Amino acid sequence: MAPPVHSEITLTVNGEEHTLLVDHRTTLLDALRERLDLTGTKKGCDQGQCGACTVLLDGRRAVSCLQLAVAAEGRTVTTVEGLADGDRLHPVQQAFLDLDGFQCGYCTPGQICSAVAVIEEHAAGWPSAVTADVRPEAGPPELTAEEIRERMSGNLCRCGAHVQIVRSVARAAGAEEAAV
């Protein structure tokens, strides 16, 4: 007998619970955009390569185009729409605005969600591929421009707004001195 190909799932998105019936083939990205009308999250490549679809899944950044919606059942999602506190923008959003961390804006929601996570990962002491000494004895790396570039490298920007993206992340992290 063929197994069922749809399931009812519950997702908590930006603090609100949603129950929906999904075809198992639906990605979290398509569920957000097409079913919940949260079109802030963008589709670039749909293959995990560009980062435009980055959201926070249980607080960690993830590419929503390779995440099946059904496999996100019961989990908590934060999209770019859920970062601000009422009219007060998230510090990362504010920094992108103040420093022109974008041009066309298509990659920006993914950049911003990614940056929120980068700042938390760095604060938790996570090393990166450019960290000279990854041993815990070496202590946490400073959030230099090189570190920010590496940590943000999963987010492509076709407009080439990278210079101001790096500055925006540094400002939001309070690391402008090290990074600029």
Measured over the CA atoms of residue 118, residue 156, residue 55 and residue 171, the dihedral's sign is positive
* 126 in contact with ligand FES (CB under 6 A): no
In the complex with other proteins, the residue whose CB is nearer, 98 or 120, is: 120
* Strand ranges (E), the chain: 6-13, 16-23, 54-57, 60-63, 76-78
- State whether residue 9 is helix, strand or coil: strand
- Provide, rounded to whole angstroms, the least separation between the CB of residue 146 and other proteins: 10
Q: Could you tell which of ligand FAD, other proteins, ligand FES, none binds residue 158, using a CB distance below 5 to 8 A set by kind? A: ligand FES
Specify whether the CB–CB gap between 6 and 23 falls below 8 A. Answer: yes
Size of the site for other proteins (CB under 8 A): 48
* 65 in contact with ligand FES (CB under 6 A): yes
- State whether residue 104 is helix, strand or coil: coil
The token duo for 150 is: 């590496």
Binding mask 98-117 for other proteins (x = CB under 8 A): ----------------x--x
Size of the site for ligand FAD (CB under 6 A): 2
- State whether residue 133 is helix, strand or coil: coil
Instruction: Considering only the stretches 11-19, 43-51, 112-120, 167-175, report the one whose residues sit in contact with ligand FES under the rule CB under 6 A.
Output: 43-51
CB neighbours (10 Å) of residue 3?
5
Task: Please name which of 113, 108, 126, 118 lies closest in space to residue 165, comparing C-alpha atoms.
Answer: 108
Nearest residue to the partner ligand FAD, using Cβ: 48
* 24 in contact with ligand FAD (CB under 6 A): no
Place of tokens 């129950």: 19
Q: Which residues bind other proteins (CB under 8 A)?
A: 2-5, 7, 23-25, 27, 46-48, 51, 54, 57, 60-63, 66-68, 70-71, 73, 114, 117-118, 121, 124-129, 131, 133-137, 149-155
